[in-house]
Amino acid sequence: MEPNFVNASRNAITDWHAALTYFSAKYTNYAYISNIEFVTDVSQNSIAGYDVYIYFSETITSQGQSALGLTTTL
């Protein structure tokens, strides 16, 4: 795994948090969104208890097609 990937992911998470903070301040009906906590951990294994996982792979396919990324919700 490239260290750049981890740094880019952490920067994206920081940006995501900033966007949610801005949105919740602008639209006070959504103020509760500002209470979302972002915790990052880098590991070779899946650790239970997180809501979002970011995996890196050299190849990703979705429905038999090559893909740049993949999101799965439960």
DSSP for 4-70?
A: HHHHHHHHHHHHHHHHHHHHHHHSGGGGGGGG--------SS--TT-S------S--EETTEE-S--
Number of domains composing the chain: 1
Residue 60 has pLDDT above 70, yes or no: yes
Q: Is residue 45 included in any domain, yes or no?
A: yes
> Could you read off the pLDDT of 17-58 as tens digits, one per residue?
999 999 999 999 999 998 998 888 888 887 888 888 888 878
Q: Is residue 61 included in any domain, yes or no?
A: yes
Q: Which domain, by its residues, includes 31? A: 3-66
What pLDDT is recorded for position 26?
96
Q: Is residue 8 included in any domain, yes or no?
A: yes
CB of 67 closer than 8 Å to CB of 61: yes
What pLDDT is recorded for position 1?
61
Tell me the three state secondary structure of residue 3: helix
